[in-house]
Structure 1
Amino acid sequence: MDTLNQTTVTEFVFLGLTDNWVLEKLFFMSFSITYLLTLLGNILIIVTILLTPRLHTPMYFFLSNLSFIDICHSSVTVPKMLEGLLLERKTISFNNCIAQLFFLHLFACAEIFLLTIMAYDRYVAICTPLHYPSVMTVRVCVQLVFALWLGGTVHSLVQTFLTIRLPYCGPNIIDSYFCDVPPVIKLACTDTYLTGMLIVSNSGTISLTCFSALVASYAVILVSLRKQSAEGRRKALSTCSAHLILVALFFGPCIFIYTRPDTSFSIDKMVSVFYTVVTPLLNPLIYTLRNEEVKSAMKQLRQRQVFFIKSYT
């Protein structure tokens, strides 16, 4: 607790993405549109699944949770980034910075665990289809979702504790557009090598372990597809390929950022933008463009809405 008493920094200053005024305005317009589409796309998926009884299955239950996490994940960083693009001096209070850091890791870790659970769900559905109804029951699905939120919370608390236990007495300039553990601990008024290694070990272990489990699951699935019919292989490959694209888009940046020591690369900001801004938008696009059931359900909901409107006009 003594180190906490040494903290005199009350706010942090972001350097942002660029100091070019024209680029800032272009980024503001493009990222505003991206964020709006992210919200609309993921909300549309959640509403479609909720209002379509035939989509009340474990796979779509997990997909709706993925959309919810994507909404939360992007909302942690994007609104503050958009505000900063309009301001000459981009600041955030110490407490808000810690809160942003906590929720960033909470939702990112929850998404990692959820993608792993979705891989397990596909493994059971494709490799042991006869046992699927008894294995992936409603109770089991709810328990898995509860477990992923619990795991995400524990991970985030560890990251946050390792960050706030350090003293911060200046400087207070963060070379980023949001608060994350690596750039924040660089500003601590003490040696952070051990803390940095603990943080990398924690995040890296989760990312690499879940990624390895995902690769193993899909390797087994691909081998088992040889026994499936042509139609079964087509449907399974369509679903699994969409999931694999999401895994690559999300795990790639996470592994790049959180599994190396405390270093700084110029490409870090670009990678961070991709996984905090772009990936949450790509998730609904991938699942709606590649999933016939979701597209069909959305079409039916649209037709029902049109019929509802006509009946009252």
Structure 2
Amino acid sequence: MTSNNTSIKITEFIISGFDSVNMPVAVGVVILIVYVVCCLANIINILFIVYDKKLHKPMYLLICNLAVVDILYTSSASPTMIRTLVAGVKTISYVPCLIQMFAFNFGAIKETLALSVMAFDRLLAISCPFQYHSYLTNGRTLVLIFILWVVGCCLTAVFPATVIPLPHCYSVLKYAFCDYPALIRTTCADHEYYFNMIAIIIFIILFVTFSFICLSYFGIIFFVKVSSSSDKKKMSSTCLSHLIVVTCYYFPVFVLSILTRLGVVLSLQERNGLIVGLFLGPPLVNPFVYCLRTKEIKYKILKLFTKC
């Protein structure tokens, strides 16, 4: 599946995805500020859950897991973008580039798995409220989280496994960082073949996880219908946080991964904007959604500010 182009030995890549940006420093500073807020908000969320034994429950362990995933996800590409825009350093070595591609795709896949298991947690809590803590103990939750990390790692291994064996004909990355399409475009291979292959894999992952989330909510809706009005209000409040997070993540993913394969053409600026929104949006929204809509965490924050 390779062309007749002469391959070259690559030691570093040149990032050209931001060459057309009018005010690169300003854009870089905005990304830097959002990135710092993302990391701080998620770290605070983790610390609240880790140091408060009352929050050592399955739901909060899953929120903590999501916060760790968000930090990994946003940290996979943000530093490179900030360095490129603010400092003007447009080169990245070969191995760090591959690591970045793996970390970015691992974070994206882990995000879908984390949201799926959180939907299942809400279904279990609403459908079996009295048996919930016997079915989903802290130990089982931690084992489930560990299994999902291993599964995510195995699924992500497909990306570097398809890129590493290919010869490279170019050293310039057309996009903003080392994501899979940017690296494939530097190879001498048939780009469409590898794009379509990965698109099928991504579609399967998105379809399975999104369908699982939808089925979980169908189950939740069924149990809400047969519940009292006070229980309905409590259930809707419990699930709204998760729905906000799911919508915030899946919308740009579907546009980038599915619609572009179906013929939707995006300019470089539009693609970069969606990519930035993809790995900065959910990690920024998630901690604030769970802090503001989760009673126990919100109470801890208010108590901390009151003491200060």
TM-score, normalised by the number of residues in structure 1: 0.89
Contact 1:48/1:301, CA 8 A, preserved across alignment: no
Q: 2:250 maps to what in 1?
A: 251
Deviation at 1:302, TM superposition (A): 4.2
Between stretches 206-215 and 186-195, larger displacement belongs to 186-195
Amino acid at match of 2:45: I
Counterparts of 1:238 and 1:164, CA distance in 2:
46
Contact 2:56/2:138, CA 8 A, preserved across alignment: no
Task: Tell me how large the CA RMSD over aligned residues is.
Answer: 2.2
Deviation at 1:262, TM superposition (A): 9.5
Counterparts of 2:154 and 2:8, CA distance in 1:
24
Q: 1:82 maps to what in 2?
A: 82
Evaluate the alpha carbon distance shift between residue 28 and residue 196 of structure 1 in structure 2; reply closer, same or farther with a 3 A threshold: closer
Q: 1:17 maps to what in 2?
A: 18
Counterparts of 1:257 and 1:165, CA distance in 2:
26
Q: 1:41 maps to what in 2?
A: 41
Counterparts of 2:80 and 2:290, CA distance in 1:
28
Contact 2:29/2:86, CA 8 A, preserved across alignment: no
**Mapping of 1:228-267 within 5 angstroms?**
228-259=227-258, 260-261=260-261, 265-266=266-267, 267=270
Q: 2:151 maps to what in 1?
A: 151
Q: 2:95 maps to what in 1?
A: 95
Aligned length: 301
Amino acid at match of 2:227: Q
Counterparts of 1:7 and 1:158, CA distance in 2:
23
Q: 1:184 maps to what in 2?
A: 183
Q: 2:216 maps to what in 1?
A: 217
Deviation at 1:7, TM superposition (A): 5.1
Evaluate the alpha carbon distance shift between residue 262 and residue 158 of structure 1 in structure 2; reply closer, same or farther with a 3 A threshold: farther
Matched residue SS, 1:13 = strand
Q: 2:136 maps to what in 1?
A: 136
Q: 1:206 maps to what in 2?
A: 205
Amino acid at match of 1:16: G
Matched residue SS, 1:169 = coil
Between stretches 57-66 and 229-238, larger displacement belongs to 229-238
Between stretches 161-170 and 85-94, larger displacement belongs to 85-94
**Unaligned segments of structure 1, at least 5 residues:** 307-313
Q: 1:167 maps to what in 2?
A: 167
Deviation at 1:204, TM superposition (A): 1.4
Matched, 1:275 2:307: no
Amino acid at match of 1:96: P
Counterparts of 1:75 and 1:203, CA distance in 2:
21
Contact 1:42/1:284, CA 8 A, preserved across alignment: yes
- Give deviations 1:173-199, integer Å, cap 9, x for gaps: 222211111222122112133322221
Q: 1:311 maps to what in 2?
A: none
Matched, 1:287 2:286: no
Deviation at 1:100, TM superposition (A): 0.3
Q: 1:300 maps to what in 2?
A: 303
Contact 1:105/1:155, CA 8 A, preserved across alignment: no
- Give deviations 1:41-72, integer Å, cap 9, x for gaps: 11111111122222211111000111111111
Contact 1:16/1:90, CA 8 A, preserved across alignment: no
Counterparts of 1:302 and 1:51, CA distance in 2:
17
TM-score, normalised by the number of residues in structure 2: 0.91
Deviation at 1:149, TM superposition (A): 0.5
Counterparts of 1:290 and 1:16, CA distance in 2:
37
Aligned-pair identity in percent equals 30
